[in-house]
């Protein structure tokens, strides 16, 4: 039996997820801003019902995925969770806002919904969350990207991206600050923090390297379990250098998990 998906947002990530949906999963509803609704309807030629609010969906999706970034989660997340639905979240950086986190968690408890935080652009979050159960002493995260991947972000106020000739660190702080200052780039920092020691205690270093074409993520964790280091070198989506290909694939995986009787 075909499962039906509701997607919030239809930018570069949403389009890629739609293209890669596993057999047995159908994109039935899209929620997009009013300003884009007509264009998206024309683009999809009536194959998907295009909405501007969650309550316009009169049926029950098997899964709701957020591909709209932090503003999309803040605007629509509560409505999804209060309907008792499962919401798969990529824009975990929005949860650095404690008031929003509390509002969404309350909506989930009261409505019977569930917020599923996706691993996004990194790997190893299952192991980090497991290690937390025994106690973690330290978690650090380092990210290095090409100048084009930092364009349009707060990085432009900290460093001249067009003049960089070698790798330069331009930010050091905690995960909450990183997620707030770099919402389009640092959802990873928030994901690691939520899986590990929290926003304030996760140390983050961000850098730019004109010689790289990939996004490099390094995670280090130490605790009662021992210690681990993970390095991932990922490619951004060709259609949006701020979006990780692996982040889009993590959404596709969430869709597949709905279909499979056994899954990782």
Please identify every residue annotated as catalytic.
Answer: 217
DSSP letters spanning 60-84: --SEEEE-SHHHHHHHHHHHHHHTT
Contacts with 150 (C-beta within 8 Å, 6 or more apart), sequence order: 156, 161, 185, 208
Torsion of the alpha carbons at 66, 124, 150 and 255, rounded to the nearest 10: -20
CB-based contacts of 166: which residues, under 8 Å, 6+ apart? 209, 210, 211
Q: Which residues are CB-neighbours of 222 under 8 A, at least 6 positions away?
A: 136, 137, 138, 139
């Amino acid at each position: 039996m075909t499962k039906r998906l509701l997607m919030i947002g239809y930018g570069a990530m949403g389009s890629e997820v739609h293209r890669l949906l596993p057999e047995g999963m159908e994109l039935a509803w899209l929620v997009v801003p009013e300003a884009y609704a007509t264009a998206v309807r024309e683009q999809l030629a009536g194959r998907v019902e295009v909405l501007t609010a969650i309550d316009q969906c009169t049926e029950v999706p098997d899964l709701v995925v957020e591909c709209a970034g932090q503003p999309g989660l803040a605007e629509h997340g509560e409505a999804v969770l209060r309907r008792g639905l499962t919401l798969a979240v990529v824009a975990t950086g929005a949860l650095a806002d404690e008031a929003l986190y509390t509002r969404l968690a309350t909506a989930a408890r009261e409505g019977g919904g569930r917020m599923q935080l996706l691993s996004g652009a990194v790997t190893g979050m299952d192991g980090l969350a497991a290690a937390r159960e025994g106690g973690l002493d330290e978690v650090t995260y380092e990210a290095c990207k090409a100048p084009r991947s930092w364009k349009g972000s707060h990085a432009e106020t900290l460093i001249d991206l067009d003049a960089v000739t070698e790798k330069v660190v331009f930010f050091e702080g905690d995960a909450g600050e990183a997620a707030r200052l770099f919402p389009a780039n640092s959802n990873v920092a928030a994901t690691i923090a939520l899986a590990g020691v929290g926003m304030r205690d996760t140390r983050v270093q961000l850098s730019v390297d004109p010689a790289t074409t990939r996004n490099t993520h390094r995670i280090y964790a130490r605790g009662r379990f021992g210690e681990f280091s993970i390095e991932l070198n990922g490619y951004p989506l060709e259609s949006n250098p701020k979006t990780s290909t692996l982040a889009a694939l993590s959404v596709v995986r969430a869709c597949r998990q709905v279909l499979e009787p056994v899954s990782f």
